[in-house]
Structure 1
Amino acid sequence: MTDLPIDDDPLGPLDPDFANRFERDPRRPACQLYLISPLEVGGGFPDRLRRALDAGAVAAFQLRLKDIDQHEAARLAEPLQRICADAGTAFIVNDSVALAKRIGADGVHLGQDDGDPREARERLGKDVQIGVTCHDSRHLAMEAGEAGADYVAFGSFYPTTTKAVQHRPEPTVLGWWTTLFELPCVAIGGITPQNAPPLIEAGADFIAVCSAVWGEDEVAAVRAFDAVLRG
């Protein structure tokens, strides 16, 4: 990785006229749903996750935990990982390569401060999925691809209360990426069933959602996203 600030993309902004030439490639697989957990996953959350996964097609679930030790994280992960396995949903760990290795997760998602994908690959093996947060930067996305990432994530596309937002890409970056590269891309940040269509049409391979599902009735929310994704 370079030492460039994460908001300094040496490629510069996409020229609007140039960007508008990119659109979703119809040969790519249909966009899929990628669920991200709330920070509180104890108590009755496993039952909520099971209901959500039963409500519609969910390609991946990311476990996002903060400020807890590895032992507790592994304890919380165990029932959720089992539910995902039963549903055929990939189980992804946020930030922690160590936790992903410890529990045998299907993948790990790395922020820009969470290490090099090459090192993660060495520790986790060739079959584990590695995703990388790239904010609004085409440069960081290309670096992640060169480093062996399995997908790149752009966002936040819309205002969100899940985490602090410093980067607001335009949907055109999704079309640019999917026109030029085979590597899947994920759109994240404040996505709801109502505002998802422009991101899907622009080229997102996955839409990652959190509050729009867990802040509502998870069954109704997943069904609403499922309807949008099915067109």
Structure 2
Amino acid sequence: MTTAKPGLADSVDWRLYFVTDTPLAGGPERVPWFVEQAVIGGAGVVQIRDKTLPHDDFLALTKACVTANQRAYERCGRQAALVVNDRLEVAEELGLNVHMGQSDGDIREARRRLGDGLLIGLSISNQTELDAEFAAQSADVLGLSPIWDTPTKTDTEAALGLDGAATLVQQTNRRAKTVAIGGISHGNVRSVIGTGVDGICVVSAIAARPDPQQAAAELLKAWDDSSASV
């Protein structure tokens, strides 16, 4: 099985997607606390991302985030879908979803190894990448990246901007969920929601805030405000 399972992503609340950042959090031991606070604040998806930690340390970090997600559930009755960035072997070992960049390996091999019961995300930066993925779809969710340039991730393609993101959303024809990432903040989140994406991904808008729970709640509220203004 190398294709995405239709409807699998419908069970996830994609509106607020938090991507962890170890240095911003103050070290790996602090990341799980940010995960817990973000989920209590309303994050429906959390991606554990650290490109530099050795395998065993990243595995331990991911396990700690799984526990933090469970603590959040015990406190507020809500938990997030957990996503592992890039490290397919960790996702496979723990039974978690995975997100892949264009250079992170073969997405169809990832689908074969994870089966059709786990979600796979794929970064998309242009029409060519979108067309290649839809030629034999394996991803459940597409990360449109970057919307704007951001200091938390510098190895990206040229910024899409709002118009570029909106065009890609339209081109998907809802065959996959879409989430936007790159430079999204409390000040511009409503304009990104207006592109038609299913969710917004943030890093520093939660990880660099002194109260990540409140920061998450404010970002999620932007969806309600946008719906009310339509």
Q: Same fold (TM over 0.5)?
A: yes
Question: Partner letter of residue 219 of structure 1?
Answer: Q
1:50 to 36, 53, 77: 36
Aligned to 2:16: 33
Which residue is equivalent to 1:61? Answer: 46
What CA deviation, in whole Å up to 9, does each residue of 1:77-101 have, x standing for no partner?
A: 1121122243320100001111110
Could you tell me whether the CA contact under 8 Å between 2:179 and 2:198 is conserved in 1? yes
**Partner amino acid for 1:220?**
Q
* C-alpha distance in 1 between matches for 2:79 and 2:29: 23
More deviation in 83-92 or 185-194?
83-92
**2:220 matched residue in structure 1:** 226
**Match status 1:79 vs 2:64:** yes
- Is residue 79 of structure 2 the alignment partner of residue 94 of structure 1? no
User: Using the alignment, how far apart are the partners of 1:81 and 1:190 within structure 2?
Assistant: 27
Number of residues of Structure 1 aligned to a counterpart in Structure 2: 200
1:169-223, Cα deviation, whole Å (9 max, x unpaired): 1322333333342111111001012111121111111100001111112122112
1:70 paired with 2:55, answer: yes
Q: Which amino acid aligns with 1:100?
A: A
Amino acid at match of 1:184: K
Supply the distance in 2 between the matched residues of 1:178 and 1:159 (Cα, whole angstroms). 19
Any idea what SS the aligned residue of 2:22 has? coil
| Aligned residue identity for 1:76 | L
Q: 1:67 is matched by which residue type in structure 2? A: T
Q: Equivalent residue for 1:206? A: 199
Q: Identify if the C-alpha distance between structure 1 residues 214 and 30 changes in structure 2 by more than 3 Å, giving closer, same or farther.
A: closer
Q: Percent identity?
A: 25
Per-residue CA distance 1:130-158 (angstroms, 9 max, x = gap): 111112x0120232233311111112112
Task: Assess, with a 3 A threshold, how the Cα gap between structure 1 residues 203 and 30 changes in structure 2: closer, same or farther.
Answer: farther
- Aligned partner of 1:185 in structure 2 is 178
TM-score (norm 2): 0.80
Bigger share in helix:
2
**Separation in 2 of the partners of 1:53 and 1:59?**
7
Distance 1:143 1:62 in 2: 24
Pick closer, same or farther for the CA change 1:170–1:158 going to 2, 3 Å. closer
Two-structure CA RMSD over aligned residues (Å)? 2.0
State the one-letter code of the partner of 1:151. Answer: V
Return the match for 2:142 from 142, 152, 167: 152
Cα distance in 1 between the residues matched to 2:131 and 2:191: 23
Residue aligning to 2:188: 195
Residue 69 (structure 1) shift? 2.4
Are residues 53 and 31 of structure 1, via their aligned partners in 2, closer, same or farther at CA, if it must alter by over 3 Å? closer
Structure 1 alignment gaps of length 5 or more: 1-28
Paired amino acid for 1:66: K
Q: Which amino acid aligns with 2:80?
A: T
Q: Can you give the 5+ residue segments of structure 2 that lack an aligned partner in the other structure?
A: 1-11, 226-230
Instruction: Answer yes or no: is the 8 Å Cα contact 2:147–2:165 preserved in 1.
Output: no
Q: How far did 1:45 drift?
A: 2.8
Letter in 2 for 1:47: W
Tell me whether 113-122 or 64-73 shows the greater mean CA deviation.
64-73
Q: Does the 8 Å contact 1:188/1:207 carry over to 2?
A: yes
